């Protein structure tokens, strides 16, 4: 109840405040995101990022003079629920645009719903390369960095810091995990490092100590991991327990260590380096203002999901204002190749595969804080366009 109405109330307040928006019909943005189940913490960041952006955009006069209205639905981290909720938002909620899906299965399935309903969606979370490569869709955009991009800055940093190092890979066994491991392996091997071992653990794995034997035996200098959320908390604290963090550099994909779980990981996160498209530490006025507003509103730092979801509404705003309309064909055309400002700098939406191009960072945890230790310009990180569907 509260969620649904916050946006509506904001919109209503705005209606009284701004005469320009008074007569205007709101633009509805549907959000299908996990608000219950394992991915709840991610869904929470998505929601916060979107709500903050909607509030700011509406306070500044809305999108082309029309206020934004967010409509949330819980997808329970289940694609079968996600498609049903997406249809509800498209057909009953009459949303103009949809976002929020987290796991790649949901993003792909909801993308197909968008195709069949002739609407557009964007993901702000899913990493799996396939979404903007071999399984790309003319109706799906991605504003966050995919696995391949994330690997670029990290591999670059690693090749300078520890050239020709031996790397052990530990990924979660689902598409997002396999995709990130494959992408980093390629990037790191190109830069001269060697693979000494690889393990895929089930999602929601309890005890990582059963892989520590293999890890020790292969004597790596670097561990790359792409487990996320609760799983990272367990992996890193169990590694600390076993004294494995002493002589091992641990690096990982975006989303392994975020402001959501760093508190629970504690000291074990120290020294962890991750390749990301966003960090609260990015030193620009835009980001400082965003972090301040976000923390003031929700009492937590934004992580990459919060920031990318926040940036998404500005992407949509830019596209609608460029198109001068909200219909699918015009907005799609406007989105392709558009540049827009986000907390982490200017992003460009590549027309060929609907993947956002952005600067990428290597971020290290020092004293419980994220510090930027390296970066790669967007064009160098993006990789070739592998989408052949449009």
Partner 1 sequence: MRSPMAEFLDYTQFVLAPQVLNGLSLGVAVILMALGLTIIFGLLDVINMAHGEFYAIGAFLALALGALGLNFWILLALVPLLMVPLGWLTERALIQRVFHSRERHILTLLLTFGFGMILEDVLKLVFGANTQKPPMPITGGTEILGVFLPNYRLFLILFGAALILAVWVAVFRTRLGAMVRAAAYDKDMASSLGVPVRAVYSGTFAFGVALAGLSGVLLAPIYSVFPTMGRDFILMAFTVVIVGGMGSIQGAVVAGILLTQVQAISSLYISPVWTDPLVFGIMVMVLMVRPQGLFGRLGNA
Partner 2 sequence: MLIDRAPAPTLPRARDAVHAIAVLFFTAALALGALGWWAGDSFYLRLATEALIFAGLAMSVDILLGYTGLLSLGQALWFGVGAYTSAVILRDVAASFWLAMGATLVVTTLAGTVGGLIANRVKGVYFALITFGLAQVVAKVVYNTRELGASDGLIGVPEITIPLGFATVDAANPAGFFLLVLALVALLYAGLAYLMDAPFGRTLIAIRANEKRVPFLGFNPLVHRMLAYVLAANVAALAGALYPMLRGFVSPELLFFQTSGNAVITVIVGGVGTLIGPVVGSVLLTALRSVVGTWTEHHLIVIGVLFMLSVVVMPKGLVGAVRPWLQRRLSGSESPR
* Interface positions with partner 2 (CB under 8 A): 1, 4, 35-36, 72-74, 78-81, 83-85, 87-88, 90-92, 103-105, 108-109, 111-113, 116, 128, 130, 135, 173-175, 203
If the CB atoms of residues 192 and 202 are measured against partner 1, the closer one turns out to be 202
Q: What residue 377 binds from partner 2, partner 1, none (CB within 5 to 8 A, per partner kind)?
A: none
Selection from partner 1, partner 2, none that 341 binds (CB < 5 to 8 A by kind) is none
Query: What does 84 bind: partner 2, partner 1, none (CB cut-off 5 to 8 Å by kind)?
Result: partner 2
CA dist., res. 188 & res. 362, Å (int): 14
Q: Which residue number, 114 or 250, has a Cβ lying nearer to partner 2?
A: 114
Q: What residue 92 binds from partner 1, partner 2, none (CB within 5 to 8 A, per partner kind)?
A: partner 2
From partner 2, partner 1, none, interface partner of 135 (C-beta below 5 to 8 A by class)? partner 2
Identity of the residue, 38 or 328, whose beta carbon is nearer to partner 1 in the bound complex? 38
Helices (H), 251-303: 262-265, 285-298
Q: Which does 212 bind (CB under 5 to 8 A by kind): partner 1, partner 2, none?
A: partner 1
Smallest distance, partner 2 to C-beta of residue 26, A = 18
352, 139 in Cβ contact below 8 A? no
Handedness of CA 171, 175, 181, 182 (dihedral sign): positive
CA–CA distance, 154 with 376 (Å, rounded to integer):
9
Interface residues with partner 1 (CB under 8 A)?
Answer: 36-38, 40-41, 44, 173, 199-202, 204-207, 209-214, 216-217, 229-230, 233-234, 237-238, 241-243, 260-261, 263-266
Contact 387, 294 (CB under 8 A): no
By beta-carbon proximity to partner 2, the closer residue of 93 and 378 is 93
Query: Considering the complex, what minimum distance in angstroms separates the CB of residue 175 from partner 2?
Result: 5
SS3 222: strand
| Rounded Cα–Cα distance for residues 365 and 184 (Å) | 20
Strand 97-99 to 68-74 pairing: unpaired
Closest CA to 278 of 255, 298, 309, 307: 307
Interatomic CA distance for residues 310 and 70, integer angstroms: 12
Q: Looking at beta carbons only, is 90 or 315 nearer to partner 2?
A: 90
Nearest residue (CB) to partner 2, 33 versus 256: 33
Question: CB of 129: closest distance to partner 2 in angstroms?
Answer: 12
Tell the smallest beta-carbon distance from residue 156 to partner 1 (Å).
30
Nearer to partner 2, 41 or 311 (CB): 41
The C-alpha atoms of residue 78 and residue 144 are separated, in whole angstroms, by 21
DSSP letters spanning 83-142: HHHHHHHHHTS--SEEE---SHHHHHHHHHHHHHHT-EEEESS---GGGGTTT--TTEEE
User: 80 vs 194, which CB is nearer to partner 2?
Assistant: 80
CA atoms within 13 A on the CB side of 327: 2
CB of 72 to partner 2, least distance (A): 8
243 binds, among partner 2, partner 1, none (CB under 5 to 8 A by kind): partner 1
Residue whose structure tokens are 């979370």: 125
């Amino acid at each position: 109840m509260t969620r649904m109405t916050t946006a509506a109330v904001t919109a209503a307040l705005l209606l009284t405040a701004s005469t320009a928006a008074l007569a205007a019909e709101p633009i509805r943005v549907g959000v299908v995101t996990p608000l219950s189940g394992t991915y709840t913490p991610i869904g929470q960041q998505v929601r916060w990022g979107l709500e903050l952006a909607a509030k700011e955009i509406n306070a500044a006069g809305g999108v082309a003079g029309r206020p934004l209205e967010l409509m949330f639905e819980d997808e329970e981290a289940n694609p079968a629920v996600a498609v049903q909720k997406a249809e509800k938002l498209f057909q009953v909620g009459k949303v103009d645009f949809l976002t929020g899906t987290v796991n790649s299965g949901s993003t792909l399935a909801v993308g197909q719903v968008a195709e069949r309903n002739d609407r557009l969606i964007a993901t702000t979370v899913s990493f799996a390369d396939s979404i903007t490569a071999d399984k790309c869709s003319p109706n799906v955009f991605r504003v966050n960095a995919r696995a391949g991009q994330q690997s670029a800055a990290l591999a670059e940093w690693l090749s300078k810091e520890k050239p020709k190092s031996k790397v052990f890979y530990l990924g979660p066994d689902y598409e997002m995990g396999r995709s990130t491991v494959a992408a980093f392996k390629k990037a790191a091997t190109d830069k001269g490092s060697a693979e000494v071992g690889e393990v895929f653990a089930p999602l929601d794995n309890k005890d990582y100590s059963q892989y520590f034997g293999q890890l020790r035996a292969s004597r790596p200098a670097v561990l790359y991991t792409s487990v996320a959320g609760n799983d990272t908390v367990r992996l890193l604290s169990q590694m600390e327990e076993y004294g494995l963090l002493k002589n091992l550099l641990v690096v990982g994909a975006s989303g392994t260590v975020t402001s959501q779980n760093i508190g629970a990981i504690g000291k074990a996160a120290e020294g962890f380096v991750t390749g990301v498209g966003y960090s609260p530490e990015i030193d620009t006025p835009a980001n400082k203002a965003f972090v301040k507003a976000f923390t003031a509103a929700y009492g937590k730092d934004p992580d990459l999901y919060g920031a990318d979801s926040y940036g998404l509404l500005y992407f949509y705003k830019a596209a609608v204002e460029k198109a001068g309309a909200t219909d699918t064909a015009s907005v799609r055309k406007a989105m392709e190749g558009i540049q827009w400002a986000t907390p982490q700098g200017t992003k460009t939406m590549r027309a060929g595969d609907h993947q956002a191009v952005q600067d990428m960072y290597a971020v290290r945890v020092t004293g419980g804080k994220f510090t930027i230790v390296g970066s790669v310009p967007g064009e160098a990180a993006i990789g070739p366009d592998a989408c052949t569907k449009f």
